[in-house]
A and B are shown apart, each in its own frame.
Chain A
Amino acid sequence: MARIDMQEVAHSYRPKTQTLHEYALKRIHMTWEDGGAYALLGPSGCGKTTLLNIISGLLKPSQGKVLYDGGDVTGLPPEQRNIAQVFQFPVLYDTMSVFDNLAFPLRNRGVTADRIRQRVREVAEMLDLDSVLNKKAAGLSADAKQKISLGRGLVRSDVAAILFDEPLTVIDPHLKWQLRRKLKEIHERFHLTMIYVTHDQVEAMTFADTIVVMYEGEVVQVGTPEELYEMPKHKFVGYFIGSPGMNFLPCTLEGLFARVNGTMIPLDERTANLARRASGKLELGIRPMHLELHAQAVADAFPVGILTVEDQGASRIVTLALNGQMVRARVPEEHLVPQQKAWLRFPPEKTRLFADGRLVE
């Protein structure tokens, strides 16, 4: 186990890179704490896998350094870094038995036969593979194959970290949930540093204590699931986390109010003061869950037209028209949805402002 530091890491797949836009990874500077369970969340193509491959050493970054427990490993290949990585699709050694597959990373490092047998048995037990240990790996089902890949990642007990690159993509949904629980359990038992790449927010939130959100080659926010939900630091985090995503309304600042198409939405003082100093295009952001929908006029509420109501079981998603702007609100099941016309209130303490896509702070 080790703490992993990334110092000013940037990477471009092209040999001569001129503009910042061409970088697959733009200046990553962060620390992965020893024993942490991290999720690396972001849309496809945002650089998650690139970042993972730089940590494991499959890729040498164009710029910057990677440190394991303070020691520079930037130039070292993966086999000298002592790191485990599990890939999106099962990678098996077809001609070997399940046992030999699991033992392979240990055998390559000259571990004694007794120790190998012990470790393989432990891992096989964790992943319910004991019954197929002597079978050929090639003939097994897709999820058993992926379990073997996971097992090869877990079999070495001394690795600096285990990196998972969307490892449950090929697994059936109910098994996915089980395996994720299993990984979480393993993390709690052995305090391994785990970095789990995914583009599924639910997967990220159930697995990790800390979520690292990436967008277009940048880490836009690092935080707990609550922090990401309550205080998204980037417009993208607002969109990506939560369902439906945050509402964003272009606005201008007028004193303690945000003017959206002529509607004056009150802000709390801190937000307004911060926004005054910010530059760039201003936008108001609020979670659908935080919007209040009233049947009668109340203070600071604005009349809205109701366009559609989507029943989602425990709650309803109501699409509203506010002065020609589309806004979505999440209304709890027990709450009655008014017909056609309603009043919408923006609680100032939950209303955020974003300047050029970034939270004002």
Chain B
Amino acid sequence: MEKWENNKAWFLVLPVFLIVAFSAIIPLMTVVNYSVQDIFGPGNAVFVGTEWFEEVLRDTRLHDALGRQFLFSGLVLLIEIPLGILVALAMPKRGWGVSASLITLALPLLIPWNVIGTIWIIFTRPDIGLFGVAVNGLDLLSVPFDHTARPIYAWITLMAMEVWHWTPLVALLCYAGLRAIPEAYYQAAKIDGASALAVFRYIQLPKMRGVLTIAVLLRFMDSFLIYAEPFALTGGGPGNTTTFLSIYLVKIAVGQFDLGPAAAFSLIYFLIVLLLSFIFYQVLLNVGKGEKR
């Protein structure tokens, strides 16, 4: 076969190029543009080079927010992934229970995110909330429960909300992964005399690798970028104790209208998420693949 020499074929790539340009490259470049200028007003901007980046990287409040963010995402992964696997393992495999549990699990995923924050505000209110009233009624806490009162209460409420909201996603993914395991694996394990633990360790967990990779990536990215729920629930308080990166970013960009630092911050934020997602992906893809001596 002769090679077809017609470079006009490249024009076929044009629609995709345009879509990607409008959806990703052009908005991102405006942020890059802002990040290297000091803007005083329309038509009044000064080029400042890397100054904003240096300032943002030295900002101790940003360091604190980053630390909080890591703690939050770490806790989210540590709780939601194992819990999601457990829920998936406990779900019924046939009969009416399948649809019932799938629908129940999917419900939290269908609620708008800021509504979730509002639901939990009401749920945990010490005066009318079911949870708040119930816990305080037990009279076990030295300081009555109120998520605005103490950082630890705010964090507990946030974590409870986050786990309630997103564990179903992990569970649904794991359930799909479990259902995809052919029956012959379980049969072979029975013939081989494997214990339930061995079945989990050597069949179910390895076969869930794909869906778990997706679950970890999604949960990491989403929790690292979380905004609406803590904004609705705590607004970043008490003090700054639940001010995560995106909340802090919005404070700078919209609250103080410091577009330059906010842009520099956005880019750094974006690169952190990209880098960590890449590392997670590589690690999960290659874990347990090496050859034994």
Residues of A within 8 A of B (CB): 53, 56-58, 77-79, 83-85, 87-89, 91, 93-97, 104-105, 108-109, 134-136, 138, 149, 152
Give 18 new A-B contacts, CB below 8 A, not counting A78-B191, A84-B191.
Answer: A58-B191, A79-B190, A79-B191, A83-B191, A85-B187, A91-B184, A93-B203, A93-B206, A104-B194, A105-B192, A108-B198, A109-B193, A134-B292, A134-B293, A135-B291, A136-B292, A138-B289, A152-B188
Q: Give the contacting residue for A96; candidates B182, B190, B191, B202; CB below 8 A.
A: B202
Contact A134 B190 (CB under 8 A): no
Write the nearest CB–CB distance from B94 to chain A, whole angstroms: 13
Residues of B within 8 A of A (CB): 182, 184-185, 187-188, 190-195, 198, 202-203, 206-207, 288-289, 291-293
The 4 A-B pairs of least Cβ separation, nearest first, read A108-B193, A91-B188, A79-B193, A105-B192
Alpha-carbon distance A109/B187, docked complex (angstroms) = 17
Contacts of A58 in B (CB 8 A): 187, 190-191
Find the residue from A85, A97, A135 having the highest chain B CB count within 10 A: A85
24 interchain pairs (CB within 8 A)? A53-B187, A58-B191, A79-B191, A83-B191, A85-B187, A85-B188, A85-B191, A87-B184, A87-B187, A91-B185, A91-B187, A93-B203, A94-B206, A94-B207, A95-B202, A95-B206, A96-B202, A104-B202, A108-B192, A108-B193, A134-B292, A134-B293, A135-B291, A152-B192
Contact B191 A56 (CB under 8 A): yes
Interface of A is mostly: loop
Contacts of A56 in B (CB 8 A): 191
Contacts of B190 in A (CB 8 A): 57-58, 77-79
Given A97-B292, A134-B293, A136-B292, the answer on whether A108 and B195 have CB atoms closer than 8 Å is yes
Contact B292 A87 (CB under 8 A): no
Write the nearest CB–CB distance from B264 to chain A, whole angstroms: 44
Find the residue from B184, B191, B289 having the highest chain A CB count within 10 A: B191
Closest residue to A77 on the B side, CB-wise?
B190
Contact B191 A89 (CB under 8 A): no
Given A95-B202, A134-B292, A136-B291, the answer on whether A87 and B192 have CB atoms closer than 8 Å is no
Alpha-carbon distance A246/B184, docked complex (angstroms) = 37
Alpha-carbon distance A56/B188, docked complex (angstroms) = 11
Closest residue to B182 on the A side, CB-wise?
A89
Contact A89 B292 (CB under 8 A): no
Write the nearest CB–CB distance from A58 to chain B, whole angstroms: 5
Closest residue to A53 on the B side, CB-wise?
B187
Closest residue to A96 on the B side, CB-wise?
B202
Q: Give the contacting residue for B188; candidates A53, A77, A87, A138; CB below 8 A.
A: A87
Contact B187 A134 (CB under 8 A): no
Write the nearest CB–CB distance from B32 to chain A, whole angstroms: 43
Q: Give the contacting residue for B288; candidates A95, A105, A134, A152; CB below 8 A.
A: A95
Alpha-carbon distance A95/B201, docked complex (angstroms) = 9
Alpha-carbon distance A105/B206, docked complex (angstroms) = 19
Contacts of B288 in A (CB 8 A): 95
Contacts of A84 in B (CB 8 A): 191
Write the nearest CB–CB distance from A77 to chain B, whole angstroms: 7
Write the nearest CB–CB distance from B212 to chain A, whole angstroms: 13
Alpha-carbon distance A97/B293, docked complex (angstroms) = 10
